[in-house]
Amino acid sequence: MTESVKRCRESIQDIHLFRNISDAELDKMFACSKTSERTFCDESYIFRQGETPKNLFLILEGCVMLAKDFASGKRDVLFLVEAGDVFGEMFLFADAKKYWYDAIAQGSVRLLEIPWDFFYCFCSNACDHHRLITKNMLEIQSEKNFSMTRKLHLLSGTTLKERIALWLLEQAAQGDIVHLTMNREALADYLGTTRPSLSRELMKMQQEGLITVEKNVIKLSDSRALEELY
Tell me how far apart the alpha carbons of residues 27 and 57 are, in angstroms, rounded to a whole number.
Answer: 18
pLDDT (0 to 100) of residue 166: 83
pLDDT band at residue 169 using 50, 70 and 90 as cut-offs: confident
- What are the tens digits of pLDDT across the range 172-200? 866 789 888 888 888 888 888 889 999 99
Tell me how far apart the alpha carbons of residues 32 and 130 are, in angstroms, rounded to a whole number.
Answer: 10
Tell me how far apart the alpha carbons of residues 197 and 205 are, in angstroms, rounded to a whole number.
Answer: 12
Of 61-65, 141-145, 226-230, where does the model show the most confidence? 61-65
Dihedral of the alpha carbons of 115, 108, 61, 189, in degrees to the nearest 10: -90
pLDDT (0 to 100) of residue 2: 47
Residue 46: C-alpha distances to residues 58, 145, 192 (Å):
12, 22, 24
- What are the tens digits of pLDDT across the range 99-152? 888 999 999 999 989 887 776 665 555 566 666 666 666 666 656 665 666 666
Is 86:57 a contact under the CB 8 Å cutoff? yes
pLDDT (0 to 100) of residue 120: 64
pLDDT band at residue 1 using 50, 70 and 90 as cut-offs: very low
